[in-house]
Structure 1
Amino acid sequence: MNAVVVLAALAVLLAALTAAGAPRADAGGAQGAVAAAAAVNGTALLGAAIAVGVSAIGAGIAVAYTGAAALAAMSERPELFGRAIVIVGLAEGIAIYGLVVGVILIQRA
């Protein structure tokens, strides 16, 4: 799941970097307005990529620690399986929160 979220962040980052190739703001007239809008869109896309990427990395770290602890606990008490899966799922939720923030930023761009 984290790999998919990281790939989505890379795709958004690529879109943000290619949006920077618009005409410059000092060109004047309609081209200046287009360039200013492209700069804002590029910044929003870059922010979305950072939000998704950092949240995916944070979720990966959280899942690594909670998953290891859950496996250790289940090796001693197998009846803790349900609780352990819930804890690992909560750690994975961090990536989903970042993805939601990224989608909101993309919609406003």
Structure 2
Amino acid sequence: MNPWLWTLPVILPAATATVFCVKRWRKTAHTLLAALNIAVMAGVLALVAVALGAGSAAAGESAAPAAASSAGVGGAALIAAAIAVAGSSLGAAFAVAYTGSAALAAMSERPEIFGRAMVVVGLAEGIAIYGLIVAIILIGLA
């Protein structure tokens, strides 16, 4: 069964409760959400550290050293690919947000610059494509 289907009953009430808390108690809710995000990030980092350490521990003493080192390199390359995609996507999101809002503001005054404004927004989206290319190269090395 798909893991996303298991988490759906948890995600929907949590999202609803988050929206309710943010609307009702603004400052307290933002502080609470920031603390919750930090706690989740610490848990994820601990899980990644355990997962990376388990690859070399699972190889054991009987396995050849080359097998243990190649397992660690593959995992590290996959994590690097994920970081490349995530970082470039976040960068592209910020770039598109700023250039898109500026393009809409400029087009509201002069509608004839639509083509030039969309080129700038498209160039900002290219950042995510560069991250995807780097990830494909890294996955090929894994």
TM-score w.r.t. the length of structure 2 is 0.59
CA distance in 1, matches of 2:116, 2:62: 61
- 1:1-28 C-alpha deviation (Å, 9 max, x unpaired): xxxxxxxxxxxxxxxx5x7443527723
- Check if 1:84 corresponds to 2:109: no
CA-based RMSD: 2.2
Q: Which has the higher contact order (CA 8 A, sep 6+)?
A: 1
Correspondence for 1:108: 141
SS of aligned partner of 2:55? coil
- 1:16-47 C-alpha deviation (Å, 9 max, x unpaired): x5x74435277234354322211000111111
Give the structure with higher Rg (CA). 2
CA distance in 2, matches of 1:76, 1:33: 64
Percent of matched pairs sharing the same residue: 62
CA distance in 1, matches of 2:56, 2:98: 47
Identify if the C-alpha distance between structure 1 residues 101 and 48 changes in structure 2 by more than 3 Å, giving closer, same or farther. Answer: same
Residue 66 of structure 1 and its aligned partner are, at CA, apart by: 0.1
| Candidates 25, 35, 50, aligned match of 2:83 | 50
Correspondence for 1:13: none
- Check if 1:63 corresponds to 2:131: no
Q: Is 1:44–1:106's contact at 8 Å kept on the other side of the alignment?
A: yes
Structure 2 residue runs of 5 or longer lacking an equivalent are 1-47
Q: Is 1:25–1:31's contact at 8 Å kept on the other side of the alignment?
A: no
Which amino acid is the alignment partner of residue 130 of structure 2? Y
CA distance in 2, matches of 1:86, 1:108: 33
Aligned length, in residue pairs: 93
Q: After the TM superposition, which parts of structure 1 deviate over 3 Å for at least 4 consecutive aligned residues?
A: 19-23
Q: Is 1:56–1:98's contact at 8 Å kept on the other side of the alignment?
A: yes
CA distance in 2, matches of 1:76, 1:82: 14
Structure 1 residue runs of 5 or longer lacking an equivalent are 1-16
SS of aligned partner of 1:28? coil
Moved more, 44-53 or 23-32: 23-32
